[in-house]
């Protein structure tokens, strides 16, 4: 089934839609200062793909490469680490401003905090980031994964010293199971999605993602450009909501058009926008998609309002769009940098290629205002987090384009 696009005819202007105060520039500064206290921190590259932009008929295509984040091959550690810092700071009575990795590992803070077990459910990247942070800061971590999770993703979590179990549940069911276990055992759940009554930690996670948006803004300004369009991949929508909120709060009227992109099998943001009653709606079932990181059926209830109000469109697409994006980034146009981008990382590149080059996309391209004056920001949120899957797609052509003109 081909690409489906739902347009929002009148996105809200800043101040007229969902509250942006949790994602203000001053919060971004606090978050980034915290991340910068890790020796692994450095801004990830923003590649301006000049060759690709010419090929597609766009002014700029800029791809931020999160495979370089903290040596963990994905952006997710930004959220879990900041949420854990906020939780620990409030537990021991420290202000978050000026907090550092070394403060959190000091004997005084460790003694005051006591023994804590953190728990989460993950498609892979969030759990790895949380397990990494727990090991860095000296805490126990328990991670559950949905059925069908790749061994390599589980092994990467085990390698950080966490307990990790692949369940026979889908993602959203596994989240509920972890939550019940946390309540029973007194564990601290650090989940990257919110629901009614569980909002504080997910908001901290979204704030953690602001570091990458703040870096991108700085890097685009250094290139002398601001984006006109920003395509954001969505699982539960925390990542997309964080970037939408951060860039809208920072740029106001100059914010780009935001467009979410999801797999058909787990298109809960698209479905919620399509139903159009203002509420989030779930997708159920196995959620089986190539894009493991986006295989989530229940929107983050906090983030949903940001996506509903400030996005110009929501896209649902087949798996081969992600595979095309992986191939486009791996085999660049002459002069461009190659980017190793995994399934969930590359879907936005795949959709931009489709929109600009597929004959069936003419109307959608026009509706989104994409053309020679457009500067497009994409975030490759992961590298080859499942190397075998990556090679099957990029080397051996798995998930071929079923929609060739």
192 near ligand PLP, rule: CB under 6 A: yes
What backbone torsions phi and psi does residue 230 show, to the nearest 5 degrees? -135, 115
Residue 188 Cβ vs ligand PLP, minimum distance, rounded to whole Å = 20
Catalytic residue among 12, 59, 112, 123: 123
Stretch that binds ligand PLP, among 235-243, 270-278, 326-334, 367-375 (CB under 6 A): 235-243
381 near ligand PLP, rule: CB under 6 A: yes
Give how far Cα 292 sits from Cα of 80, 345, 373, Å.
19, 10, 33
| Among positions 44, 238, 301, 348, the unique one binding ligand PLP when judged by CB under 6 A | 238
Q: What is the token pair recorded at 320?
A: 């081969």
345 near ligand PLP, rule: CB under 6 A: yes
Q: What is the token pair recorded at 56?
A: 């597609």
| Residue whose CB is less far from ligand PLP, 119 or 236 | 236
Stretch that binds ligand PLP, among 32-40, 57-65, 121-129, 215-223 (CB under 6 A): 121-129
Report the C-alpha gap between 307 and 18 in whole angstroms: 9
| Residue whose CB is less far from ligand PLP, 112 or 391 | 391
Q: What are the residues facing 6 on neighbouring strands? A: 314
| Residue whose CB is less far from ligand PLP, 55 or 70 | 70
239 near ligand PLP, rule: CB under 6 A: yes
3 near ligand PLP, rule: CB under 6 A: no
- Cβ atoms 255, 226 nearer than 8 A: no
User: Is residue 401 classed exposed, middle or buried when 0-12, 13-18 and 19+ CB atoms within 10 A define those classes?
Assistant: middle
Beta strands 163-166 and 140-145 are parallel
| Residue whose CB is less far from ligand PLP, 240 or 361 | 240
Catalytic residue among 19, 39, 64, 76: 76
344 near ligand PLP, rule: CB under 6 A: yes
Annotated catalytic residue 123: yes
| Among positions 68, 86, 101, 126, the unique one binding ligand PLP when judged by CB under 6 A | 126
Q: What is the token pair recorded at 105?
A: 């590992």
150 near ligand PLP, rule: CB under 6 A: no
| Residue whose CB is less far from ligand PLP, 227 or 241 | 241
Residue 198 Cβ vs ligand PLP, minimum distance, rounded to whole Å = 15
296 near ligand PLP, rule: CB under 6 A: yes
Instruction: Kindly list the strands in the beta sheet with 60-65, ordered across the sheet, starting from the edge strand earlier in the chain.
Output: 4-7, 311-317, 257-263, 229-233, 375-380, 60-65, 46-48
Annotated catalytic residue 76: yes
Stretch that binds ligand PLP, among 8-16, 23-31, 101-109, 229-237 (CB under 6 A): 229-237
| Residue whose CB is less far from ligand PLP, 8 or 380 | 380
Report the C-alpha gap between 325 and 48 in whole angstroms: 16
236 near ligand PLP, rule: CB under 6 A: yes
The catalytic residue positions are: 76, 123
Interacting residues with ligand PLP (CB under 6 A): 74, 76, 123, 125-126, 192, 233-240, 293-294, 296, 344-345, 381-382
């Amino acid at each position: 089934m081909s690409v489906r696009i739902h347009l929002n005819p009148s996105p809200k202007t800043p101040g007229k839609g969902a509250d942006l105060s949790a994602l203000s520039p001053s919060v971004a500064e606090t978050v980034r200062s915290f991340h910068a206290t890790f020796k692994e921190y450095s801004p990830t590259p923003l590649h301006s793909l000049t060759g690709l932009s010419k090929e597609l008929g766009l002014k700029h295509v800029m791809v931020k490469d999160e495979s370089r984040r903290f040596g963990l091959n994905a952006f997710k550690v930004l959220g879990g680490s900041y949420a854990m810092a906020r939780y620990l700071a409030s537990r021991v009575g420290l202000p978050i401003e000026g907090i550092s990795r070394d403060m959190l590992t000091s004997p005084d803070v460790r003694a005051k905090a006591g023994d804590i077990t953190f728990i989460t459910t993950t498609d892979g990247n969030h759990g790895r980031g949380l397990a990494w942070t727990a090991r860095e800061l000296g805490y126990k971590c328990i991670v559950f994964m949905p059925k069908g999770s790749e061994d390599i993703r589980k092994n990467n979590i085990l390698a950080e010293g966490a307990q990790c179990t692949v369940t026979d549940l889908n993602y959203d069911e596994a989240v509920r199971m972890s939550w019940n276990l946390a309540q029973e055992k007194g564990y601290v759940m650090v989940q990257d999605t919110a629901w009614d009554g569980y909002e504080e930690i997910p908001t901290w996670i979204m704030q953690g993602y602001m570091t990458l948006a703040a870096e991108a803004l700085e890097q685009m300004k250094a290139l002398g450009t601001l984006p006109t369009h920003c395509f954001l991949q969505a699982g539960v929508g925390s990542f997309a909501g964080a970037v939408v909120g951060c860039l809208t709060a920072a740029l106001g009227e100059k914010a780009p058009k935001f467009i979410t992109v999801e797999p058909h099998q787990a298109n809960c943001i698209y479905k919620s926008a399509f139903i159009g009653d203002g509420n989030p709606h779930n997708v159920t079932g196995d959620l089986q998609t190539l894009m493991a990181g986006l295989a989530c059926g229940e929107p983050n209830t906090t983030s949903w309002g940001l996506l509903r109000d400030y996005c110009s469109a929501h896209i649902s697409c087949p798996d081969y769009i992600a595979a095309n994006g992986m191939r486009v980034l791996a085999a660049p146009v002459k002069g461009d940098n190659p980017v190793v981008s995994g399934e969930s990382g590359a879907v936005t590149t795949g959709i931009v290629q489709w929109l600009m080059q597929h004959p069936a996309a003419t109307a959608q391209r026009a509706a989104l205002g994409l053309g020679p004056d457009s500067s497009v920001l994409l975030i490759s949120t992961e590298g080859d987090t499942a190397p075998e899957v990556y090679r099957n797609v990029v080397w051996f052509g798995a998930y071929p384009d079923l929609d060739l003109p």
